[in-house]
Amino acid sequence: MLKGLGQLANLGNIMKQAQEMNSKMQALNEQLKGKRVTGSAGGGLVEVEVNGLGEVMAVRLDEDLVAKGEREMLEDLLPTAFNSAKAKAQELHQQAMGEITGGLNLSGLGDLLGGEDDAPTAP
């Protein structure tokens, strides 16, 4: 009957560690919200700026491209710029996660801890 008490103590320790990791994940998300990366396409004709969570913060279009009404070109360049920015945000997220986990790949950890894992996932 007393054997189970040792396991309960371990469970309490695991829960404490999970709460600490959840706090670190929330701090990481706040840190990533403040970082910015830019993806571009067409030699800089279209630029998309996202934060470290992959949320779009700004889109910049070349004035001449807009003035000429190059709708089809914009439609082609925008997805490329978005994808480039998203990939850079993913790199930021992976680097930051590596700092927290000591290089261990713990993708989905935020979900396990009941926290928000808003960061992009690797392709």
Tens of pLDDT, residue by residue over 24-83, are 889 999 999 999 999 999 999 999 999 999 999 999 999 999 999 999 999 999 999 999
Question: pLDDT higher for 116 or 31?
Answer: 31
| Residue span of the structural domain in which 69 resides | 23-112
Let me know if residue 101 belongs to a domain. yes
pLDDT of 4-14, one tens digit each?
566 666 888 88
> pLDDT digits over 80-115, tens only?
999 999 999 999 999 988 888 776 655 555 455 444
Q: How many domains does the chain have?
A: 1
What pLDDT, on a 0 to 100 scale, did the predictor assign at position 11? 83
Q: How many CB atoms lie within 10 A of CB 119?
A: 21
Angle at 95 between CA 79 and CA 35, to 5 degrees: 60
Residue 59 maps to which CATH number? 3.30.1310.10
Torsion region of 42: left, alpha or beta (phi above 0 gives left; psi -120 to 50 gives alpha): left
pTM comes to: 0.68
Within a domain: residue 18? Answer: no
Residue 108, domain member (yes or no): yes
In a domain, 86, yes or no: yes
Which residue, chain included where needed, has tokens 């934060």?
A: 51
Cβ atoms within 10 Å of 79's Cβ, excluding its own = 12
* pLDDT on residue 122: 41
Is residue 91 in some structural domain?
yes
Compute the radius of gyration of the chain from its Cα atoms. Answer: 21
Does some domain include residue 64? yes
